[in-house]
Structure 1
Amino acid sequence: MAEYLAKFDGNNTIMQLSKEKIYALISDHLPQFERVGSLESLRGGNLNYVWRLRGKNKNLIIKHAPPYIASNPDIPLNNNRIDFEARALELFESAETLSEISSAQVRPPERLLYEPNQSLLVMEDIGSVPAIDSWLSSAAETTQIGSLLGHFIGQLHKKTFNDSGLRKQFNNKPIQETRNQVQYQPAADYASEIISIQNTNFEARTKALGEKLLDPGKCLVMGDLWPASILIKNGNLRLIDWEFVHYGRPLQDAGHFVAHCWMQAHTASSSSETNKWKQLWLSFWRKYQHTTGEVFEELFNQEEHDFMTTHIAAEVLVRAAGPFKDGYIYKAFPPSHPKIEEAVNNAIQISERTIASIWDFLPGQV
């Protein structure tokens, strides 16, 4: 870990956050915590600096948001994202808006301290438990976990549907602007670098989606539902990294999750593992539809279905051929590798199909 982390305050003035400053803040605000170690840098996320701090009776997870993507400092990112995450975690606290959907089975981590002036968030340490991709490799079946996740996300969307207060509170436009600039607007360019074909219809769809997502949407969405954010311990789920939370479109949870299930299946080492990812998604989607019930058709009208496959395609492209390739499942494949070309071609075709048909592009389905 660097001794100092640079960040900008509201006036774009660079300030410094040292280890000693972090220790002092925790000592002042969490006096019952007895530190027995030093900050330990954690890996797994891309956006922020994250550490574990060990204590006598419990450990803490500490997150600091710089004004850029921590794993890619060349991409600026508004560090108020951590404010949205802190406010989202607060919603799940006792007697708050979303407390009734938080349970021992599925919930986010508990918020312990938030210092907005330092862009610093302290949470409970869930422990060194596997993310869903590591867990799945040895799982016998995935239906129960998929259903738990589908129920939670379905409740999140249903309970916050058409909530004007949350729409105002969670208008996380800076995150959406970054996604538009990095993911949706250049999606067709990422594709053309691999297959040398400019698809104008696909380009129009991804750019239109990016613009649509700048507007407030239908419900509160977690915003970053990919394997690294889904931890599993003793059959229970913990959803971490809520900095992309916003009042947006449900496709950015459901579509995001299925995109990553598809990519994991596409790169799986066996047909058995491929089918585990497919079944994980199908159990999620069935439970999501059942949970949202009478509002499902409003959450997922025809436009939402159409844009969902466009989002899936854009997510595959940014991971297989764009700036988020490093650190994920396509990182070992050079641009000329057939697996990359296959992912790009399939992504464009998926954008023109229905949600159910995306699995037709994977071999060995049973």
Structure 2
Amino acid sequence: MIELSEHSTPIKIQDLGFWNSGEKVEEISIAGPGNMNLVLRIKTNQRSVILKQSKPFVKKFPQIPAPIDRIQVEHQFYQVLDESGAMLEFVPQILGFDPENHLLLTEDLGTGKDFSDIYSGEKSLSLNEVDQLVHFLNVLHALPVKDFPDNLSMRRLNHEHIFNFPFLKENGFDLDTVQPGLQKLSLEFKQDQNLKMVIEALGERYLAPGKTLLHGDFYPGSWLQVNSGIKVIDPEFGFLGDREFDLGVFLAHMDMGLQGEEVLSRILKQYAHPMDPRLLNQYRGVEILRRLIGIAQLPLRLSLMQKEELLNFGKKLILS
């Protein structure tokens, strides 16, 4: 039996207040990689559900502290979407929430797979899939949300790993362990003071209050393909900010996944809201750079030359 141990006394899953009368836990397994949180698939004698618990650290990198109340932001994000009624096909239904133990129970969407295969060249997004993902952003970015957590602690964590850490010359992360030659290649961007100045200003904007509800981490690892279609999960980085941030991250991952001009053009054509092209380029460019020379690495199958081309493209976007 897996136990949840946020307190001195371990919490047994069967003892949680989520279960129906006569419901018994029969099987527990890990549901997906869960970069940030503990994510379990629980099968009972009545149903299958997903139980998610946030910890005071990043699950993939336990040495990195993380705000434990991020599960409350995820819960509120799903609540907002549920109340709008416009996006129910994209997100799991909330079945229970225990803020004291940082637990969120949702429906089990079924065994699925995220879209990380685009990085290895094993998958190309179809135009129909692009349209579904852009539709999600179109509806999300139109929601009239005013009362949402500022999620500043999570944004500060994200800020460090998007706008600061990747551009420190001595940050303790040897990029040659990712790919020989990458450390030397990164120095050009870590030592470009003009580039770093623009990125610093962009980071300050990212931390400032905004007006549009964002997913906050809209990339292929947050998209799940299941039998019923594409689902969007893991909104713990959600906040009110610049719509260009979500869209820029989306485009950057299409760049790194070599998805081609048709996909990129389709995204921009289908996106329905006004935007600042310069700001969009900057968010897109910094996401490319931080993924290539920061700690949040992707399963890319790119040569050093291809990464150099992408880094220079990202720099051009930022400085354009």
Normalised by the size of structure 1, how large is the TM-score? 0.75
Contact 1:85 1:243 in 2 (8 A): yes
Structure 1 window deviating more from structure 2 (227-236 vs 123-132): it is 227-236
Deviation at 1:333, TM superposition (A): 7.1
Structure 1 gaps, min length 5: 8-14, 266-273, 354-366
Identity %: 24
**Of the candidates 78, 81, 87, which is equivalent to residue 102 of structure 1?**
87
Alignment of 1:157-168 (within 5 A): 157-160=141-144, 163=145, 165-166=146-147
**Separation in 1, partners of 2:211, 2:315:** 26
Partner SS state of residue 20, structure 2? coil
Alignment of 1:1-366 (within 5 A): 5=5, 7=6, 15-16=7-8, 18=10, 20-25=11-16, 28-31=17-20, 34-93=23-82, 96=83, 98-99=84-85, 101-104=86-89, 107-134=90-117, 137=122, 142-160=126-144, 163=145, 165-166=146-147, 169-189=148-168, 194-197=185-188, 198-234=191-227, 236-265=229-258, 274-275=259-260, 278-289=261-272, 292=273, 296=274, 300-301=275-276, 305-325=277-297, 328-330=298-300, 337-353=304-320
Contact 1:34 1:56 in 2 (8 A): yes
Deviation at 1:227, TM superposition (A): 0.7
Normalised by the size of structure 2, how large is the TM-score? 0.84
Q: For residue 282 of structure 2, what is the amino acid of its counterpart? A: T
Give me the CA root mean square deviation.
2.7
**Separation in 2, partners of 1:244, 1:260:** 17
Contact 1:145 1:235 in 2 (8 A): no
Contact 1:194 1:344 in 2 (8 A): no
Q: For residue 255 of structure 2, what is the amino acid of its counterpart? A: W
Partner SS state of residue 196, structure 1? helix
Structure 1 32/3 Cα, relative in aligned 2: closer, same or farther at 3 Å? closer
**Separation in 1, partners of 2:69, 2:35:** 16
Structure 1 window deviating more from structure 2 (310-319 vs 173-182): it is 310-319
Q: What whole-Å deviation, never above 9, does each CA across 1:247-292 have from its counterpart, x for those lacking one?
A: 1111221111111111111xxxxxxxx43xx433432332222xx3
**Separation in 2, partners of 1:80, 1:286:** 37
Contact 2:166 2:295 in 1 (8 A): no
Deviation at 1:62, TM superposition (A): 1.0
Structure 1 346/114 Cα, relative in aligned 2: closer, same or farther at 3 Å? same
Q: What whole-Å deviation, never above 9, does each CA across 1:62-114 have from its counterpart, x for those lacking one?
A: 11111111111121111111101001111232xx2x21x1243xx21111111
Q: How many residues align?
A: 304
Partner SS state of residue 104, structure 2? strand
Contact 1:179 1:210 in 2 (8 A): no
Contact 2:111 2:226 in 1 (8 A): no
Partner SS state of residue 217, structure 1? coil
**Separation in 1, partners of 2:159, 2:224:** 27
Structure 1 88/195 Cα, relative in aligned 2: closer, same or farther at 3 Å? closer
Structure 2 gaps, min length 5: 170-181
Partner SS state of residue 12, structure 2? helix
Greater relative contact order, per chain length (Cα 8 Å cut-off, separation 6+): 2
Q: What whole-Å deviation, never above 9, does each CA across 1:231-254 have from its counterpart, x for those lacking one?
A: 123572211111011111112211
Contact 2:98 2:104 in 1 (8 A): yes
**Separation in 1, partners of 2:112, 2:192:** 42
**Separation in 2, partners of 1:199, 1:144:** 40
Structure 1 279/329 Cα, relative in aligned 2: closer, same or farther at 3 Å? farther
Contact 1:310 1:352 in 2 (8 A): yes
Deviation at 1:338, TM superposition (A): 3.4
Q: For residue 154 of structure 1, what is the amino acid of its counterpart? A: N
Partner SS state of residue 257, structure 2? helix
